[in-house]
Structures are given as C-alpha cells and as structure tokens.
Amino acid sequence: MSEAKARATLSTLKPLVLPGEPRQVSKIVQRLLALYPGKGDQPDSVAEDWVRILKDEPLASIWAAYEKVIRRPGTFAPSPGDFLAEVRMHSSMVNRLRLSISDRT
C-alpha cells in the first residue's frame, strides 16, 4: 500500500474510534431494548446503565455490535456485559487495523 493510500485509509478509520455523545449511545440502546419483549418497558435507569457502560466506547463499534446482535438468531436480549464484549471486539479489530497501517507509513 502506498503511503498516500495508507494516509487516506487512516483518515477514514479515524472517526471509527471516536466515542459518541451520550444521546447518540442512548438512541442505539433504546432501539436494542425495544427489540425484545418486555425490555422496552424497563425503567429509565436500565437504559441509563447501558449508556453509562457504553459511553466511552467508539460509536461505530456500538453500532456494529447492535447490527450484529439484531442479525443473530434467537429471542434473548444480550446482557450489557455481552454487548460490551461485542463492542470491544469490533473496536479492537479497528485499532489493530489502524496500527497495522500506521506501521507501514
């Protein structure tokens, strides 16, 4: 990969590691909780706990985990810890890719 291509790719990857605002995270959490019977009717504190756990994670990784979860067969909602593990797996992959490209420049 040329240095110019590497810089362009790194520029594209940079936004993928930025955390979202709590309101952005909350929208994804609300969508997730609404998918499962009885989960959408939880007290606000449940969604607030999810947001508190996820707020420092990259927004792109939260969205990627949401997309993965909604495509998974089954009817059980993930626990916040299971969802966080998915988020961190995606985030780790993005960071490894960024480091790999950075090492080439």
Q: Tens digit of pLDDT for each residue in 10-39?
A: 788 888 889 989 999 999 999 998 887 665
**pLDDT value at position 2?**
80
Q: Which residues are CB-contacts of 102 (< 8 A; sequence separation ≥ 6)?
A: 6, 10
Q: Tens digit of pLDDT for each residue in 28-72?
A: 999 998 887 665 456 678 889 999 999 999 999 999 999 999 998
Which two tokens mark 46?
A: 């449940």
Phi then psi dihedrals of residue 19, to 5 deg? -70, 155
The residue that leads in pLDDT, 31 or 77, is: 31
Select from 16, 17, 19, 41 the least CA-distant residue to 30. Answer: 41
Neighbours of 3 (CB within 10 A): 9
How far, in Å, CA of 87 to CA of 73, rounded?
Answer: 18
